[in-house]
Amino acid sequence: MIQGLRDYQVKAIRETYKWLRENKGNPCIVAPTGSGKAHIIAGFCEDILRRVPDAKILVLSHVKELLVQDAEKIKLAWPKAPLAIYSAGLGTKETDSITVAGIQSIWRKSEELGHIDVVIVDEAHMIQNEDEGMYRRLLSSLQEFNPKLRMIGLTATPYRLGQGLLTEGDDAIFQALIEPVTIEELVNRRFLARLTSTFTDLKMNVEGIKKVQGDYEKQELESRVNSSDINSKVVAETIRRAGNRTAWLVFCVSISHAEAMRDEFIAHGVKAAAITSKTSSDERAKIFADFKAGKIRAVTNVGVATTGFDYPDIDVIVMARPTLSPGLYIQMSGRGMRVKSPGHHQDCLVLDFAGNIARHGAVTKIIPPRRTVKTGKKSSQEISDMFKICPKCRKTVMKRARECVHCGHIFSELSDLSVSQDIMGMESMNANVNESETEAVTPPVPSDVKHMKVASWFWKVIYRKKDNMPILRVDFYNEDKTQGPRQLFLYMLHEEKNARLKAYRQLKSLLQGVKVPDVEKIDNAVILKELAHTITENFTPPSWIDYKEDVREDGGIHFNIFRWGWDEQQT
């Protein structure tokens, strides 16, 4: 099954198949920007048609650049794939066993498509939870031809402003979110590049700007941030902080703002271009080509380079656009997370003049927007659940914020650990080592022991199915990136005290005696998540583990990891 995919991409496909077998409805795969959604789509297409040769698959997206990417990846994985593209913007309207289509071109053409077995939607957050819009109308029409039609969504941001998660609401088209991998794991495994951020001297003031449909009203926002004085200061500080970085992507509020920022960069001696909805396809292609060739250093844009634009060597993201949308914040940040070419900066510097990091928190810890509560013709959100008061300056900030945008107050820290956060939320930590607290974990060695050299590890929080209890999970990886991890489960919040104490001893051993919060203080999932982020980023994994494979009742494999060490010599 499915050759050439990374382990988490295979996992996404397998977990989706499993969910479809066991449930009615439609699942949505949550895969971070840069994780290879197009490769997952290609894997599905090839696997489905090899299993069922007469199946009909429809791949949908709203951006022609994504249509091209999806089609290219399908052909790359399967050169003889029966593939056609239906897109007015790309000048072709054909169908085949696999039809990659733009929703704007195909939504009224269900009769041309006829019987479709599987619909795959790239950037599935574009589908509204309410039963309206182009996607919903097309899917309803296709279900008349095939009532058993199944749909699979893919997105990095499984939520919409005012609608909450894609699974929320009586009319939600998705019934489950499948998350095969996280941003932290991809960064830790070097599949994504790290973002770095720094406090900027200039901070855009958005206080008092009214909100429309959950975000700042655009005209009022533009009048506030698009001034010659602000633009000049943003450009000057970007030049100073970017140094010798070579590819700068600038997010702006409006067309006039993007053009003004472009002119300001040029006035400061930086080769720059602006891409907006007014930019023709040919001109846009030339600008991107010159950007990638190093002929243009800064590209300003509005609403263009958030999806479908893929240039790995972007090493500076300039946020000159304040937003209340966590999805837009993630999309902007994600443009800098592609793995860089040799010879380039291996991280991407985010200069956030708009206060988005303080507003939303780290990209690894985004809290989805709440679903709007409708009352008659108007709608309002539960304000008490969205905002909090800064104890230092007494001003209102978003509840998810970790830093006050007004005075810089830090709202939360991990108990007993000294941390500092950046846009990644993958903390640097200083902790005191007490060697007397180091406790070896050396139970009896079972038979059929397997030994694995460890190249890296990743810590995360998962939830037990029967009662949703948070569990701390450690994934150990060897050098073979295609091989799945060996996993250890730490039941820090177990109802039995002995189980909690065992997990606590294992934790201390894995951290080589570093002092961590007392077992009774680790009492909720938030602290567990902070621990997971901190350990993954700052601690050295064992150089080897010993484990035994146990077959579960469902046929799966459980890895009973019982011993580890920091040298290649077993003791």
Helix, strand or coil for residue 162? strand
Is the same domain home to 12 and 142? Answer: yes
What's the CATH code of the domain at 281?
3.40.50.300
Q: Which helix (H) or strand (E) holds 14?
A: helix 7-22
State what percent of residues in the chain have pLDDT above 70.
82
pLDDT of residue 435: 32
Mean pLDDT of 307-325: 89
Is the same domain home to 167 and 233? Answer: no
What confidence category does residue 415 fall into, taking pLDDT thresholds of 50, 70 and 90?
very low
In a domain, 102, yes or no: yes
Residue 375 pLDDT > 50: no
Residue 210: CB atoms within 10 Å: 8
Is the same domain home to 15 and 161? Answer: yes
What confidence category does residue 526 fall into, taking pLDDT thresholds of 50, 70 and 90?
confident
Phi-psi region of 228 (alpha: psi -120 to 50; beta: other; left: phi over 0): alpha
Is the same domain home to 37 and 170? Answer: yes
Residue 311 pLDDT > 60: yes
More confident residue, 509 or 232: 232
In a domain, 489, yes or no: yes
What range defines the domain where residue 12 resides? 7-182
pLDDT of residue 372: 59
Residue 1 pLDDT > 60: no
Rounded (5°) CA angle 242-244-246:
85
Please state, rounded to an integer, the average pLDDT across all residues of the chain: 84
What confidence category does residue 271 fall into, taking pLDDT thresholds of 50, 70 and 90?
very high
Q: Which helix (H) or strand (E) holds 69?
A: helix 64-77
When divided into structural domains, the chain yields a total of 3
What confidence category does residue 371 fall into, taking pLDDT thresholds of 50, 70 and 90?
low
More confident residue, 162 or 79: 79
pLDDT of residue 88: 93
In a domain, 424, yes or no: no
pTM for this model (two decimals): 0.69
What is the rounded radius of gyration, in angstroms, for the C-alpha atoms of the chain?
A: 25
What confidence category does residue 467 fall into, taking pLDDT thresholds of 50, 70 and 90?
confident
More confident residue, 43 or 521: 43
Residue 177 bridge partners (DSSP): 28
Range among 261-265, 357-361, 431-435 rated most confident: 261-265
In a domain, 223, yes or no: yes
Residue 547 bridge partners (DSSP): 450, 561
Is the same domain home to 315 and 464? Answer: no
Mean pLDDT of 108-115: 95
Residue 444 pLDDT > 50: no
Residue 529 pLDDT > 60: yes
pLDDT of residue 43: 95
Residue 18 pLDDT > 90: yes
Residue 437 pLDDT > 60: no
In a domain, 363, yes or no: yes
Is the same domain home to 127 and 207? Answer: no
Is the same domain home to 43 and 85? Answer: yes
What confidence category does residue 479 fall into, taking pLDDT thresholds of 50, 70 and 90?
confident
Contact status, residue 359 vs residue 401, Cβ threshold 8 Å: yes
